[in-house]
Chains A and B, each alone.
Chain A
Amino acid sequence: MAERRNPPPSRAVDQFSITDSMMIQDFPEGTKIRLRAGGVAEVIGNPRDGAWIFIRYLEHPEDPSKIGSEDLAFCTDVVGLV
């Protein structure tokens, strides 16, 4: 059998229900949120579609160079408020 090149992730962080998500639709700009992958971010824009928010990283567990950078977070990426 061919070796599996890229096994699926099995970290604890992935053991959540795949539909488990925060109700992010009404998060105002400035809200501080905790991310499922670890780390903390601040909401910098909300398209109010309930799916995505624009964020800026305040803490990043794996890559500190990302602190201050902007990204999009999906509703299942968010685990709570800080």
Chain B
Amino acid sequence: MVHISRSRQDRSLRDLVDWEQGHVSREIYVNEDIYQQELEQIFGRAWLFVGHESQVPNPGDFFQSRMGEESVLLVRDRKGELHVFLNTCRHRGMKVCRYDEGNSLLFTCPFHGWSYDTDGRLVGVPNFQTAYRGELDKSAWGLHEVAQMSNFYGSIWATWDPKAPSFEDFLGAFVPSLRRSFEGSDGGDNGLEFFSPVQKWRLPTNWKFPGFSFAGDHAHGAMTHRSTTVAAFGPQGELAGGDRHGVPSRWASTEYEMSIPALGHGGHGRIYEQPGVGPYVETWQTVLQADDYYHEMRDKKAEKYAGQYLHGVSGCVFPNVICGGSRILLWHPHGVGVTESWRFYTVDKGAPKPVKDAQRRYMMRYCGPGGMTESDDMENWNYAYPASLGTVARRLDYNFQNGVGHAYADDRVPGFTLNYRIGEENQRSRLRRWLDFMEAGSWDELSPAKR
């Protein structure tokens, strides 16, 4: 059922989002009622990124994460099983855990002392025999757990909706690409670990500005990031001619916008002209060991993938996370005009310490709150939002017409739609999926269905 607010002059959501023609009302970025509906119908239903098993390696380890606006705990219980719980006491709602991460035998609520085991069971209620007369049914008042959780090659995802399809079905054709996002550089599955702590900060903008444009907006690169590209701060350090990225492999390939329009996932993808892994290019001239290490890993990966084409994409899993390229970019809604941005940086589990350190330093100067590229991006996101808020400004549509009508399928990447590498096809895909979620009354009206 579509919720229509009077403040929007009873315009329907479909009228606000014409993704086919690339006209999108600014209302969907600035309207409080629409935002509340997003929390219910998108963040309350979709699979969301929670964390990584390397953040909670031991029994009792926990990591405080978020799903939408709400705090959740990723916990490894004392038997070793992973859980995701809403971080709220069942008695009167106090946050049961206020640490970002740690290890605990129990989660004891600081309000009246109800205490939960690491598997979520309510195990301690003060004055249980006296005041409660032993009558409280503790088994009914454990921590609220997500409806479904998935460990996808080490990455942890969850949904509140029992009717949601499996995580793999939710990903569809994106499965092989996302799987490779969690590979080590030797091509081994689940080969990454996450650095601690996570970078977190808040931006004065709607979550869709970063969430829908990242890995879907190559057109901004040459303009927005002109100065940082010139500054040449890539991993190759002072090497003349270095730019902000590592030196790319010289394997012949073509870059495209690649998305799955019906599911909203996608990003910048590549189609290679030959199978296997391209030759190693020296990248880390200023870091001892790093090139030796990555060269060796490349050779192992080349063995694994000999004869196979590595076409694919790294990018957005709808609605709000980008995976790949040594980082996870996660944008939590935090009010219609505030986004809480989280950066996780990743590295090969088995890398030597100097390599891990070099990787971490490069990522921190590349992105995140102090990184050069994201400082550029924030200027745009943070000013476009208030400039879209005004009474007159919000009557105008945004233009998403770049490449409209030129998308096509390619047998080499089944399930994906391709378009020229500088375009807005991925953003239109996310908007299309956004509209599906916002119009559907439940998962019964969304695809794919639960099997």
Contacts and interface: CB of A to CB of B under 8 A. Distances in A.
B113 A72 contact: no
Size category of the B interface is: 10 to 19
Contacts of A6: 133
Interface in B96-154: 104-106, 108, 113, 115, 123-124, 126-127, 129-130, 133
Nearest to A48: B105
B58 to A, nearest CB: 15
Contacts of A27: none
A58 interface: no
B105 A54 contact: yes
Main SS of the interface on chain B? loop
Contact of A72 (B104, B124, B127, B130): B124
Given A72-B115, A72-B123, A74-B124, A49 B108 contact: yes
Interface residues of A, number: 14
A72 B113 CA distance: 12
A61 interface: no
Contact of B106 (A9, A49, A76): A49
A45 B123 CA distance: 14
Contact of A74 (B104, B105, B127, B133): B127
B130 A52 contact: no
Interface in A23-74: 37, 45-47, 49, 51-52, 54, 72, 74
Contacts, number: 34
Nearest to B129: A37
A74 B316 CA distance: 47
Contacts of A3: none
B129 A74 contact: no
Given A49-B106, A51-B115, A52-B108, A14 B124 contact: no
Contact of B130 (A9, A45, A49): A9
Given A45-B105, A72-B123, A72-B124, A51 B130 contact: no
A47 B129 contact: no
A52 B113 contact: yes
Contacts of B104: 47, 49
A6 B113 CA distance: 24
A24 B106 CA distance: 15
Candidate in B113, B123, B129 with the most chain A CB atoms within 10 angstroms:
B113
Contacts of A9: 130
Shortest beta-carbon contacts, A-B, top 10:
A47-B105, A47-B106, A49-B108, A72-B124, A74-B126, A51-B108, A51-B113, A52-B124, A52-B115, A9-B130
30 contacts: A6-B133, A9-B130, A14-B130, A37-B129, A45-B105, A46-B105, A47-B104, A47-B105, A47-B106, A47-B108, A49-B104, A49-B108, A49-B115, A51-B108, A51-B113, A51-B124, A52-B106, A52-B108, A52-B113, A52-B115, A52-B124, A54-B105, A72-B115, A72-B123, A74-B113, A74-B124, A74-B126, A74-B127, A76-B126, A76-B127
Interface of B: 104-106, 108, 113, 115, 123-124, 126-127, 129-130, 133
Given A51-B124, A74-B124, 4 more contacts: A51-B115, A51-B126, A52-B115, A76-B127
